[in-house]
C-alpha cells in the first residue's frame, strides 16, 4: 500500500519551516515590542463553544472536525479548534480577569475542505485586544498587523474596511425577519452580495440600503459623505457610522490608507463593529474586527474586544528564501578522526554564532568547509574563497571577512 | 463489465421485488422469503445483486462497492448530512415506502441548558441542532426506540414515521424534518463510466406510480400516565427477541412485571419493586445510557458492554451479575477462499495485498481494538446494521460477528479464524449512583443472582 499523507494535510519542509519561523519570529518580535503577551490554547475544545448564535456561521460549523472523546459518553462532542479567537475569549473569561489584555498567539486551526487540494489545517498569527472599546484599539491592531506584514513580505499591503454594526443596522431596515437578517449577514460575511430579499418585502428605501450593503472599492471620503446623505433619514445607523468614520479618520492621521468594501467576505458572525482585511499581491493575507458581544454572550461580562489574524500559510509562500537571514554554516571536516578536536572546534564556532556541523560520510551542504589538517593547521574554504589558519582566532577572522589570501 | 446493485431487505423488499418483476429483471431469489443474499438476473447476465440492510446501501454505493442501489431516502440524507461530498447521485424517487422524519418532544419545546436529542439518525439530528443554533447539545445515536427516551432522558427525538407506524403516546411533533420514499441511487463514477441505460430505462418504464413523495402524518395518542420518576431507580430492559428470556428470568427471581413484552408496544412496563421505574429500549444502546445517567441499571449483553467500554475506557459502567442467558461467541470469520485457519494466517494474507483489510461488523469498537491488538496492517472498519455475513467476500474481507452454533456463517461459506470472547446477558450498573438507588440495584442484583 502506497504511503501518503492524509488528504488536505501539509508537510512543511526545511525551506517551508525556515519561512514559517521567520514570519512567526517577526510577528512575535513586533507583538512583544507593542506590549502584547503570548498565550496558547489547546487544540481540542468543547464543540458547544462554537455552536451558539453569534459565534461561527452555520457554513463554518458544517466544516468542523468534531468527535466524541474517549470519555464522551455524555454525548457532547469536542472539536479540533476551528477558530483562533473564540478559545482566547474562553481562556480570558476562565482566568476571571476583567482588565485590559493584549494577547497574541501562533496557532493552527482546522476546517474541512472538500477537494482535499487546499489545506485542512491552517496556521495563523493572531492578536486579541480585550477590554478596549474605542476605535483607537482597532487602529492599533491594524497598524500592528501592517508592521508585521511590511517586515515579512515584499508586497504593498492594501487595507479594506467594513463595519459589521453598520451592516446589521442596515439589514434591520430592510423589513425582513431577524432570522432572515442573520442569514443575510452570514451571506455577506461569506462574501455573497446577492441578498435573498424579496422585492415585495422591501420598504421604500430598501434599494438604496441594498446598494449601500453591496458597496465595494469606495474611498473613505464616500463614507463621510454618506453620513450627510442618510444620517438624517436613519438616525439609528448614526452611532455605527460615527464609529466607522472615527476609525477611518484615526487611520488617516497616522498615514494608513484604506478602501471601503462593505460586503467584506471572510468575516465572522461574532463581529459587531469595524472589520478589516489585508491584501498583498491581490491575495488576502489577514483580517480582523471588533467583537464586542462575544465575551458577553459567553458569560464573561460586558467586555469589548477586537483582534486580527494573519494567514501564516499564505504569507510564508510569499517570502523569498534568500531574504530570510540565517546564521552561516560551517562544515567541520576531520580527516585524522580526532573527535575531541573536531568537537572543540565545532563548539567554538557555535559559541561565536555560526552553525557548525561535524562532517558525516561525505556531506557537503554548508556555506563554509573547515578542514582540520594533520599538521594542526586549519584550511577554510567557501564563497569562492580559500584560507589557511593556524589558530581558531584566525579562522574566526577569516569567517568575519578578513581573508589574508 | 459486471454491474452491481444493492437491494433492500425489510419493509422495502416486497414493493422493490414487485418493481423489479415488472421491470423484467427476473431476480427470482429476491422475494420476501429469500435467504440468499447474492442474486443473479436471468435477463441481464452482467447484473449482480445483493440484499443488504437498507441503511447500509447508501454507504456501499458511495464507496463504490455497488454501481446502483435502491433504498429509502432518509438513509441517503443521513449519509449526506455528515459526508456531503459522498459519491452518490439520486436518480429517481420510486413512489413507494413513504415515511417522514419528525423532531418530536413530549411537551412544547424550549431551549434551556443542554438539549439532548436521541435518534437513529445522529447526523441529521446534529445538522438540525446546528441549524437551530442550540448553544449546547448532545446527540445520542440509538439503534431504535428513540422516542422511548422522552421526556426524562432527552428533550427531543428525531424519529421516523411510516404508514405502518403505531401511534406514539404523548409525543408532540416539533418539526417535520424530511419526507422520504424509496429512491434509486447510483455511484457517481459508475454513472459516468458504465452503461446503465437498459437497467435504468426498464425501471423507469416499470415505475408508473406517482413519484412525488407523499408526506406521512404523525400519529400520536394521549399520553399514558407518566408517574413522577424523580428519585426513582431507572432500569432498562431489552426489547426484541430477548424479551421472553428476560421475562422468564424476572419471574424466576420473583420480580413481578406487567405488560412486558407489550402487545401494544408500551415501553413503560410496571415492575413490582417500589421505587423502580422501567423502560424498554434496545440492548445495544444500554451501556451508553447507563454511563450518561439516563438509566441506573440495565439488562444487556456483554458484547455491547465491551463495545461501549472499548469506545469509552473510563466509562462508569460495570457488570453487576452474569445472567448466563443468550450465550454467543464473538468471532472473527473470513471466506473459505482465504488461506489458513488463524487470524495470524489472515494477517499474513492481508500483508501481501495492496488494499487495506476491510472489516465488516456491528461491533465497530470491538473490531477496531481487535485489529489494533492483532497488528493487522492497514485496515478499515465498515459499520453494518445486520446481515453482516452478506458483505464477504465482495465488500469485506473479515467479519466480527456473534454466533451461537456457527451454522449461519457456514451457510455463507465462511470459516471462523478466532474467537474474541464469549458473551451472555448481564445486569449492568453505574459506579457512583445515589445510596438509595444503589440499595435498589443491590436488591435486584441479589434476586437475579439467586435466579441464575
**One fold for both B233-327+425-451 and B328-423?**
yes
| Residue of chain A minimizing CA distance to B351 | A1
- Measured in angstroms, the CA of A335 and the nearest CA of chain B are apart by 46
pLDDT at A267: 65
Would the CB atoms of B137 and A51 count as touching at under 8 Å?
yes
Q: Supply the range of the domain harboring residue A368.
A: 327-399
Find out whether B71 and B182 touch, Cβ atoms under 8 Å. Answer: yes
| pLDDT one-digit tens code per residue, A228-249 | 767 667 778 888 888 988 999 8
Interface of A with B (CB under 8 A): 1, 48, 51-53, 58, 61-62, 68, 70-77, 114
* CB contact set of A75 (below 8 Å; sequence gap of 6+): A68, B116, B138, B139, B140, B288, B292
| pLDDT one-digit tens code per residue, B365-384 | 999 999 999 988 889 999 89
Number of domains in chain A: 2
Q: Which of A25, A226, A266 is nearest to A125 (CA)?
A: A25
pLDDT band at B167 (very low <50, low <70, confident <90, very high): confident
Rounded Cα gap, residues B276 and B258, in angstroms = 13
Q: Which of B75, B79, B68 is nearest to B97 (CA)?
A: B75
Would the CB atoms of B135 and A61 count as touching at under 8 Å?
no
* CB contact set of A204 (below 8 Å; sequence gap of 6+): none
CATH topology of domain B233-327+425-451: D-Maltodextrin-Binding Protein; domain 2 (3.40.190)
pLDDT band at A405 (very low <50, low <70, confident <90, very high): very low
Q: In this predicted model, which residue has the larger pLDDT, B227 or B447?
A: B447
Q: Which region among B161-175, B255-269, B317-331 has the lowest average model confidence (pLDDT)?
A: B161-175
- Measured in angstroms, the CA of B369 and the nearest CA of chain A are apart by 13
- Measured in angstroms, the CA of A6 and the nearest CA of chain B are apart by 14
Percentage, residues of chain A above pLDDT 90: 50
Whether residues A51 and A164 fall in one domain: yes
pLDDT at A56: 82
Would the CB atoms of B138 and A52 count as touching at under 8 Å?
no
Residues comprising chain A, all counted: 405
pLDDT at A220: 67
Would the CB atoms of A53 and B138 count as touching at under 8 Å?
no
Does residue A49 belong to any structural domain of this protein? Answer: yes
Which of 3.40.50.12370, 3.30.460.30, 2.30.40.10, 3.40.190.10 would CATH assign to domain B328-423? 3.40.190.10
Q: Which region among A326-330, B95-99, B247-251, B372-376 has the lowest average model confidence (pLDDT)?
A: A326-330
Q: DSSP letters along A115-150, please?
A: TSSS-SEEEEEEEEEET--SHHHHHHHHHHHHHHHH
Find out whether B190 and B4 touch, Cβ atoms under 8 Å. Answer: no
Instruction: Tell whether the model's pLDDT for residue B182 goes beyond 90.
Output: yes
- Measured in angstroms, the CA of B142 and the nearest CA of chain A are apart by 11
- With residue A72 as reference, give the H or E element that holds it: none
* CB contact set of A269 (below 8 Å; sequence gap of 6+): A53, A54, A55, A56, A57, A182, A185, A186, A189
Rounded Cα gap, residues B132 and A249, in angstroms = 40
Instruction: Tell whether the model's pLDDT for residue B296 goes beyond 90.
Output: yes
Residue B419: CB atoms within 10 A of its CB come to 11
| pLDDT one-digit tens code per residue, A5-44 | 988 999 999 889 999 999 999 999 999 999 999 999 999 9
pLDDT at A156: 92
Distance, CA of B360 to chain centre: 14
Find out whether B333 and B417 touch, Cβ atoms under 8 Å. Answer: yes
CATH topology of domain B99-179: D-Maltodextrin-Binding Protein; domain 2 (3.40.190)
pLDDT at B38: 77
Whether residues A63 and A135 fall in one domain: yes
Mean predicted lDDT score pLDDT of chain B: 89
Read off the pLDDT of each residue in A303-327 and give the average, rounded to a whole number: 88
Would the CB atoms of B292 and A71 count as touching at under 8 Å?
no
CATH code for B3-96+181-206?
3.40.190.10
CA atoms in the 13 A half-sphere facing the CB of B176: 12
Whether residues A335 and A242 fall in one domain: no
Does residue A111 belong to any structural domain of this protein? Answer: yes
- Chain B residues in contact with A52 by the CB 8 A cut-off are 133, 135-136
- Chain A residues in contact with B158 by the CB 8 A cut-off are none
Find out whether A345 and A332 touch, Cβ atoms under 8 Å. Answer: yes
| Residue of chain B minimizing CA distance to A53 | B133
- Chain B residues in contact with A178 by the CB 8 A cut-off are none
Whether residues A95 and A39 fall in one domain: yes
Q: What are phi and psi of B259, to 5 degrees?
A: 65, 40
As for the ipTM of the complex, it is 0.77
Most B CBs within 10 A among A46, A52, A73, hence the mutation to make, goes to: A73
How many Å is the Cα radius of gyration of chain A?
27
| Residue of chain B minimizing CA distance to A297 | B135
Interface of B with A (CB under 8 A): 84-85, 114, 116, 127, 129-131, 133-140, 288, 291-292, 308, 311-315, 354-356, 377-378
Rounded Cα gap, residues B267 and B260, in angstroms = 8
Whether residues A299 and A335 fall in one domain: no
Q: In this predicted model, which residue has the larger pLDDT, A114 or A358?
A: A358
Does residue A239 belong to any structural domain of this protein? Answer: yes
Alpha helices in A254-369 (DSSP H): 294-297, 312-317, 339-351
Question: A–B: how many Cβ contacts below 8 A?
Answer: 57
Rounded Cα gap, residues A44 and A24, in angstroms = 22
| pLDDT one-digit tens code per residue, B21-30 | 888 888 877 8
- Measured in angstroms, the CA of A279 and the nearest CA of chain B are apart by 31
* CB contact set of A397 (below 8 Å; sequence gap of 6+): A389
Q: In this predicted model, which residue has the larger pLDDT, A21 or A192?
A: A21
Q: Which of B365, B311, B318, B287 is nearest to A70 (CA)?
A: B311
Widest distance between CA atoms in chain A: 96
Look-up of cell digits 420598504: A203
| pLDDT one-digit tens code per residue, B202-230 | 988 887 665 566 777 777 665 555 555 67
Write the DSSP symbol of residue A366. Answer: S
**Residue that finishes a domain, picked among A303, A322, A341:** A322
pLDDT at B210: 57
Find out whether B140 and B118 touch, Cβ atoms under 8 Å. Answer: yes
Would the CB atoms of A68 and B356 count as touching at under 8 Å?
no
Instruction: Tell whether the model's pLDDT for residue A208 goes beyond 70.
Output: no
**Residue that finishes a domain, picked among A290, A305, A322:** A322
Tell me which range, A274-283, B129-138, B220-229, is most confidently predicted by mean pLDDT. A274-283
The domain locations on chain B are 3-96+181-206, 99-179, 233-327+425-451, 328-423
Q: Which of B299, B254, B252 is nearest to B273 (CA)?
A: B254
Would the CB atoms of A71 and B314 count as touching at under 8 Å?
yes
Whether residues A201 and A120 fall in one domain: yes
Q: Nine-digit cell at A297?
A: 454572550
pLDDT band at A335 (very low <50, low <70, confident <90, very high): confident
Rounded Cα gap, residues A291 and A267, in angstroms = 11
Look-up of cell digits 512583544: A32
pLDDT at A55: 78
Look-up of cell digits 433619514: A233
Would the CB atoms of A71 and B133 count as touching at under 8 Å?
no
| Residue of chain B minimizing CA distance to A112 | B83
- Chain A residues in contact with B84 by the CB 8 A cut-off are 62, 114
Read off the pLDDT of each residue in A319-345 and give the average, rounded to a whole number: 83
Would the CB atoms of B354 and A70 count as touching at under 8 Å?
no
Whether residues A297 and A160 fall in one domain: yes
pLDDT at A305: 97
Q: In this predicted model, which residue has the larger pLDDT, B318 or A184?
A: B318
Q: In this predicted model, which residue has the larger pLDDT, B106 or B433?
A: B433
Rounded Cα gap, residues A120 and B268, in angstroms = 47
- Chain B residues in contact with A77 by the CB 8 A cut-off are 139
- Chain B residues in contact with A48 by the CB 8 A cut-off are 135-137
Does residue A9 belong to any structural domain of this protein? Answer: no
Whether residues A63 and A173 fall in one domain: yes
Whether residues A242 and A317 fall in one domain: yes
**Residue that finishes a domain, picked among A288, A322, A356:** A322
Rounded Cα gap, residues B76 and B88, in angstroms = 9
- Measured in angstroms, the CA of A290 and the nearest CA of chain B are apart by 22
pLDDT at A190: 67
- For residue A114, give the nearest of B85, B127, B313 by CB distance: B85
Amino acid at each position: 500500500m502506497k504511503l501518503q499523507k492524509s488528504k488536505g494535510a501539509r508537510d512543511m519542509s526545511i525551506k517551508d519551516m525556515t519561512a514559517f519561523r521567520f514570519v512567526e519570529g517577526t510577528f512575535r518580535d513586533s507583538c512583544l515590542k507593542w506590549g502584547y503577551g503570548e498565550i496558547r490554547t489547546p487544540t481540542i475544545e468543547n464543540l458547544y463553544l462554537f455552536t451558539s448564535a453569534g459565534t461561527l456561521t452555520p457554513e463554518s460549523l458544517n466544516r468542523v472536525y468534531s468527535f466524541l472523546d474517549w470519555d464522551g459518553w455524555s454525548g457532547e462532542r469536542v472539536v479540533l479548534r476551528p477558530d483562533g479567537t473564540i478559545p482566547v475569549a474562553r481562556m480570558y473569561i476562565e482566568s476571571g480577569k476583567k482588565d485590559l489584555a493584549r494577547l497574541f498567539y501562533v496557532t493552527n486551526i482546522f476546517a474541512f475542505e472538500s477537494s482535499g487540494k487546499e489545506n485542512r489545517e491552517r496556521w495563523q498569527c493572531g492578536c486579541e485586544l480585550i477590554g478596549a472599546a474605542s476605535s483607537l484599539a482597532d487602529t492599533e491592531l491594524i497598524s500592528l498587523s501592517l508592521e508585521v506584514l511590511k517586515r515579512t513580505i515584499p508586497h504593498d499591503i492594501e487595507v479594506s474596511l467594513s463595519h459589521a454594526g453598520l451592516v446589521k443596522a442596515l439589514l434591520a431596515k430592510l423589513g425582513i425577519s431577524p432570522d432572515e437578517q442573520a442569514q443575510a449577514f452570514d451571506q455577506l460575511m461569506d462574501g455573497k452580495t446577492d441578498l435573498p430579499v424579496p422585492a415585495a418585502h422591501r420598504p421604500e428605501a430598501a434599494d438604496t440600503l441594498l446598494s449601500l450593503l453591496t458597496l465595494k472599492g469606495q474611498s473613505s471620503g464616500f463614507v463621510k459623505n454618506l453620513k450627510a446623505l442618510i444620517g438624517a433619514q436613519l438616525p439609528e445607523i448614526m452611532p455605527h457610522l460615527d464609529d466607522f468614520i472615527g476609525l477611518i479618520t484615526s487611520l488617516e492621521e497616522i498615514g494608513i490608507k484604506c478602501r471601503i468594501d462593505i460586503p467584506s467576505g471572510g468575516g465572522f458572525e461574532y463581529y459587531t463593529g469595524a472589520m478589516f482585511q489585508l491584501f498583498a499581491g491581490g491575495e488576502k493575507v489577514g483580517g480582523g474586527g471588533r467583537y464586542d458581544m462575544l465575551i458577553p454572550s459567553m458569560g464573561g461580562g460586558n467586555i469589548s474586544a477586537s483582534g486580527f489574524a494573519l494567514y501564516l500559510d499564505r504569507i510564508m509562500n510569499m517570502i523569498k528564501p534568500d531574504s530570510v537571514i540565517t546564521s552561516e554554516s560551517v562544515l567541520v571536516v576531520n580527516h585524522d578522526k580526532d573527535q575531541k578536536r573536531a568537537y572543540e572546534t565545532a563548539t567554538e564556532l557555535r559559541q561565536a554564532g555560526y552553525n557548525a556541523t561535524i562532517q558525516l560520510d561525505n556531506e557537503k551542504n554548508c556555506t563554509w568547509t573547515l578542514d582540520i589538517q594533520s599538521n594542526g593547521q586549519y584550511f577554510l574554504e567557501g564563497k569562492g574563497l580559500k584560507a589557511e589558519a593556524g589558530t581558531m582566532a584566525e579562522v574566526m577572522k577569516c569567517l568575519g571577512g578578513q581573508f589574508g589570501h | 463489465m459486471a454491474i452491481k446493485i444493492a437491494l433492500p431487505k425489510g419493509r422495502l423488499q416486497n414493493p422493490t421485488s414487485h418493481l423489479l418483476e415488472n421491470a423484467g429483471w427476473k431476480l427470482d431469489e429476491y422475494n420476501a422469503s429469500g435467504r440468499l443474499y447474492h442474486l443473479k438476473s436471468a435477463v441481464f447476465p452482467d447484473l449482480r445483486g445483493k440484499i443488504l440492510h437498507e441503511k447500509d446501501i447508501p454507504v456501499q454505493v458511495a464507496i463504490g462497492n455497488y454501481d446502483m442501489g435502491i433504498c429509502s431516502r432518509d438513509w441517503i440524507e443521513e449519509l449526506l448530512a455528515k459526508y456531503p461530498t459522498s459519491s452518490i447521485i439520486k436518480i429517481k424517487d420510486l413512489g413507494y415506502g413513504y415515511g417522514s422524519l419528525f423532531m418530536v418532544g413530549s411537551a412544547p419545546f424550549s431551549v434551556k441548558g443542554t438539549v439532548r436529542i436521541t435518534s437513529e439518525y445522529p447526523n441529521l439530528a446534529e445538522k438540525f441542532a446546528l441549524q437551530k443554533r442550540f448553544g449546547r447539545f448532545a446527540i445520542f445515536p440509538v439503534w431504535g426506540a428513540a422516542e422511548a427516551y422522552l421526556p426524562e432522558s432527552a428533550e427531543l427525538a428525531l424519529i421516523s414515521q411510516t404508514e405502518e407506524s403505531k401511534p406514539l403516546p404523548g409525543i408532540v411533533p416539533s418539526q417535520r424534518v424530511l419526507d422520504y420514499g424509496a429512491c434509486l441511487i447510483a455511484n457517481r463514477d459508475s454513472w459516468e463510466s458504465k452503461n446503465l441505460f437498459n437497467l435504468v430505462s426498464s425501471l423507469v418504464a416499470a415505475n408508473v406510480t406517482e413519484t412525488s413523495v407523499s408526506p406521512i402524518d404523525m400519529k400520536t395518542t394521549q399520553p399514558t400516565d407518566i408517574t413522577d420518576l424523580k428519585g426513582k431507580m431507572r432500569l432498562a430492559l431489552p426489547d426484541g427477541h430477548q424479551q421472553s428470556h428476560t421475562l422468564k428470568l424476572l419471574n424466576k427471581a420473583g420480580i413481578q412485571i406487567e405488560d412486558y413484552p407489550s402487545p401494544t408496544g408500551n415501553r413503560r412496563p410496571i415492575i413490582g419493586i417500589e421505587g423502580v421505574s422501567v423502560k424498554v429500549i434496545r440492548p445495544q444502546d444500554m451501556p451508553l445510557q447507563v454511563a450518561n445517567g439516563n438509566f441506573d441499571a440495565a439488562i444487556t449483553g456483554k458484547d455491547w458492554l465491551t463495545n461501549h467500554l472499548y469506545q469509552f475506557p473510563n466509562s462508569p459502567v460495570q457488570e453487576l451479575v452474569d445472567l448466563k442467558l443468550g450465550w454467543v461467541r464473538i468471532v472473527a470469520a473470513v471466506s473459505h477462499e482465504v488461506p489458513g485457519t488463524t487470524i495470524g494466517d489472515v494477517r499474513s494474507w492481508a500483508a501481501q495485498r495492496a488494499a487495506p483489510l476491510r472489516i465488516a461488523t456491528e461491533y465497530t469498537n470491538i473490531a477496531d481494538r481487535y485489529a489494533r491488538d492483532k497488528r493487522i496492517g492497514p485496515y478499515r472498519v465498515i459499520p453494518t446494521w445486520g446481515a453482516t455475513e452478506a458483505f464477504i467476500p465482495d465488500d469485506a474481507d473479515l467479519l466480527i460477528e456473534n454466533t451461537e452454533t456457527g451454522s449461519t456463517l457456514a451457510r455463507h461459506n465462511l470459516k471462523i479464524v478466532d474467537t474474541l470472547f464469549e458473551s451472555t446477558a448481564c445486569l449492568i450498573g453505574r459506579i457512583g449512583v445515589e445510596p438509595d438507588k444503589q440499595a435498589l440495584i443491590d436488591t435486584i442484583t441479589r434476586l437475579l443472582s439467586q435466579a441464575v
